[in-house]
Amino acid sequence: MTETIRVGVGPLSFDDVVTVARAGARVELTDEALAAIDRARAVVEQLAAGEQPTYGVSTGFGALATRHIPAELREQLQRSLVRSHAAGAGAEVEPEVVRALMLLRLSTLATGHTGIRRETAELIAALLNHGITPVVHEFGSLGCSGDLAPLAHCALTLLGEGPVRDASGQRTTAEEALEAAGLKPVNLQAKEGLALINGTDGMLGMLVLAITDLSALLRAADVAAAMSVEGLLGTDRVFASELQAIRPHPGQAASAANLRRLLADSGVVASHRGPDCNRVQDAYSLRCSPQVHGAVRDTVDHAATVAARELASAIDNPVVLVSAAGDGRVESNGNFHGAPVGYVLDFLAIAVADLASISERRTDRFLDKARNHGLPPFLADDPGVDSGMMIAQYTQASIVSELKRLAVPASVDSIPSSAMQEDHVSMGWNAARKLRRAVDGLARVLAIETVTAARGLQLRAPLEPAPASRAVIDLFGRHHVAMPGRDRFLTPELDAAHHLLVSGDLLSAVHDAIGELS
C-alpha cells in the first residue's frame, strides 16, 4: 500500500520529501492546514474588495508593481503572470526534483501565509497523487523572488496548460493528463498566481535530496578508504580514538570509528604490524582519511541544519499575516531570497570535490608499482600486455577535474533583473543543479576506488582481508566485478559497482558483516 504523507502547518521531514519525490508517496492536506488556508484566503478577498492597492493582490509585479489593476482584470493578471514566467529553457529537470518542488510549494501553501484557495492547493496534491509531473527546464531561475520559472511551469499545469509527464513517464499535455485523471483546471483568483511561484522550493528540494544521497555516500567513502588502507598495507593505528579525541571534530571521530571497525580482524593489516615494518607514516590520502571525510560529514550536518530551517519556513511575497482574532494584513518581505540555501549548496559542492579528490589519490597509489608495495603495475595480469586499471583512474581524474569546476560557487554571482528592482539575486537554483552533477560524479569516483581496492586485496592472497572488505569482494564477485585476470571490457564492471554503491547494496553487505556504520 502506498504511503501517505500528511501536509500540515508544521514542517515536512527529510524523509517526507524523499518518499514523495522518489517513492511516489501520496500526499494529503490536514484539516488544520485547510483551515489555515481558508483564514488567509478570507484576508486576501477582503483586501481585494477594498480600494487600497495591495501588492500581489491588486497591483502588477516586480518593476510593474506601481500599476493598480482593476477587479475585472485580476484573473487575467494571475494567468498572465504564470504564462509569462513559464519561460524556462534547456533540458528537462528530473521528475524527482519536480515532485520535491511541488511538495515543498504545497507545504508553504499549507501554512496559511500565502492566501491561496483550498481548491488550488488540493489540485497540487492531486497532481502528485496521480503522478502528473509538469515539464520543468534546466534554466530560468535566479534563486530570488523564488524559483520563478520552474515554479511557473508547475503552476501552468494547474491551468490545464503546458506539457507534463504522466504516471507512466509519457509526455502529454496538461489538459489531456488532467482529463484522464478526472481533474479540472483552476481559474486563478487574486494573489494565487504569485503564491504559486514565489519560493525556494526547487533549490531546497535538490538540497534535501543531495543531503540524503551524501549521507549514504559518506559511509561508502569510509568503506572505500578502509579497503585502500588495507590493500596498500597501511596502518590502522592512526585511527585510534585517543588520537581523534585531541582534535574533537564530530565528523572526524565518526569516520575514524568506522575505519577502525572496517579494518578490524584484517589478516592483511596484521601481516605487517610487527617490529619488522619500517614504514613510519602512510601518505596523507590514507592517514588523513578521517580528517577529510569527517570535514565533509560536518559540512553535510551544517547543510542539513539550514535545510531543516527552510523546511520550517513559509516562503512567499507578500505574505498573509492573520491575528488570533481572525483579522489580518498582507506584508511584503524578502524571505524569498535564496542566499541561505545557495551558500550551503555551494559549500557542499566544495566538500564533494575534495572527497572525490582524496579518493582518486588513493586509487592512483594502487596503480604505481613504486608506491603500491609489491602489487603489479596498474594491477594488471601481465603488465605491458594488459593495462589493468590504468584507464579507470583516468576516468576518475576526468570526473574529479569536472568536480573542481563545479565547486566554483554560484552564489557569488548576481545579475540584476526586472529593471533593477530585483538587483541582487542568489543563483541558488544554479548551485543546486551543479551539486546534483557533483554528487553523481562522487559516487562514480568512489565506485572506481572500491573496485580498484577489491582487486588489489585479492592480489594480496593468501592474506585474508577484513570481514567488511571480504563482504564487498564477495558482493562484487557475484556480479562479476573486480576479479583479477586478463583485460576485459571495464565499463560494465564500473557501472555495476556504481549501481551497487548508490542502490545501498554495498553498504547492506558491509552492515550484514560487521553491523551498521555511523
- pLDDT at position 286: 97
Q: How confident is the model at residue 64 (pLDDT cuts 50, 70, 90)?
A: confident
Confidence of residue 141 (pLDDT cuts 50, 70, 90): very high
Catalytic choice (55, 284, 343, 394)? 55
- The architecture CATH gives domain 4-199: Orthogonal Bundle (1.10)
* pLDDT mean over 379-404: 97
The predicted structure's pLDDT at residue 47:
85
Q: What is the pLDDT of residue 275?
A: 65
1 pLDDT higher than 70: no
Structure confidence at residue 63 (pLDDT) = 66
Domain 207-315+346-514 annotated CATH 2.30.110.10: no
Which amino acid, 298? D
Count CB atoms within 10 A of the CB of residue 399.
23
> What's the average model confidence in pLDDT over 126-151?
94
Residue 258 near residue 226, CB atoms below 8 Å: yes
Q: Kindly report the average pLDDT of the chain as a whole number.
A: 94
Q: What pLDDT band is residue 11 in, cutting at 50, 70 and 90?
A: very high
**Which residues touch 293 (CB under 8 Å, ≥6 apart)?**
218, 221, 222, 225, 251, 252, 255, 355, 358
Interval 264-289: pLDDT, tens: 999 999 888 876 665 668 999 999 99
Cα separation, 245 vs 239, whole angstroms: 10
The Cα–Cα gap between 185 and 174 comes to 9
Q: Where are the domains of the chain?
A: 4-199, 207-315+346-514
| pLDDT at residue 65, rounded to an integer | 72
Residue corresponding to grid cell 605487517: 272
Confidence of residue 346 (pLDDT cuts 50, 70, 90): very high
Residue 227: is its pLDDT beyond 90? yes
Dist. CA 173–CA 448, nearest whole Å: 42
What mean pLDDT is predicted for residues 497-502? Answer: 98
Which pLDDT value is given to residue 55? 77
Containing H/E element for 421?
none
- Name the more confident of 57 and 163: 163
Tell me what pLDDT residue 136 has. 98
Among 139-153, 157-171, 374-388, the least confident range: 139-153
How high is the pLDDT of residue 445?
98
pLDDT of residue 42: 93
- In the three-class reduction of DSSP (H, G, I as helix; E, B as strand; rest coil), residue 188 is classed as coil
Residue 336 has pLDDT above 70, yes or no: yes
Any catalytic annotation for residue 394? Answer: no
The whole-number pLDDT of residue 111 equals: 96
DSSP-based three-state secondary structure for 137: strand
CA 367 to chain CA centroid, Å, is 32
Q: What is the pLDDT of residue 422?
A: 81
Q: Let me know how many helices (H) and strands (E) the chain has, helices first.
A: 20, 9
